[in-house]
Homo-oligomer: A and B are copies of this chain.
Amino acid sequence: MVPKKLLKLAKSLQHKKYRYQEQLFLVEGAKSIVELLGSSFTVRTLIGTSVFVNQHRSLIEKHISETSVYLTSESEISSASSFKNNNTGIALVEMPRTKTIPVTFDDYVLVLDNIRDPGNLGTIIRIADWYGVAGIVSSPETTDEYSPKVISASMGSFLRVPFFRANLADFLSKTELPVYGTLVGQGTSVHHTNFAECGLIVLGSESEGMRRILAQYITQAVHIPQFGTAESLNVGIAAAVLCDNVRRKLGEKSDAKM
């Protein structure tokens, strides 16, 4: 039996206010929970079906004390979860301590200015993981990185991509790294940009793009060349195309050196 109080707590963590009050967030669904159990995150409580818990017993035992594992039915999990189609498990996970942003980075970092859509943020975290960027620095107003939709869309990548929050004007004004940003109709095509070994890539919000106050810190404006008639690209798509071109260019440079 899962105590009612615990189910209520799990449900409350769908709301940002309670996540920060409790310093806990949700990881839901078999695939994400299995990845979580292989990570250094601290799992406070696991609610799962007996099938799921038995299937991953040794991994679970390594990671979490038996008294914090609760067995229940698929339907109870489904009704307590943020996602209707999750009927395997819910983990209540401790938020890691806020990390201080390193003074500098020796690779690429994505800088997110007021990304509002949790699906977009999760996708960007997944892209950052795929392209092996050193981390993400986001404005305070960017949607909460611990929201269930972000965690779900990141497909486990939230476990691996360092995520920081900062006043971006402050952060960008102090960096010595090149700052790349997409400014409409400006700068070089990403196909022809000579990307440096490390740098910051600034991505603006879905509806308004990059705030003016940040544009002054862009040391190299770039654009994604358009070949058709769509007005814009989704910010997640833009992030991927930028990262792909950075990695391609750095690959060409390292090939040339050999």
Contact = CB atoms under 8 A, between A and B. Distances in A.
A228 B123 contact: no
B247 A128 contact: no
Given A123-B237, A240-B240, A157 B251 contact: no
Nearest to A250: B227
Nearest to A35: B231
A165 interface: no
Interface stretch (A52-60, A130-138, A214-222): A130-138
Taken together, the copies of this chain in the complex come to 2
A248 interface: yes
A90 interface: no
A229 interface: yes
A233 B191 contact: no
A129 B240 contact: no
Contacts of A131: 226-228
Given A160-B228, A248-B191, A233 B119 contact: no
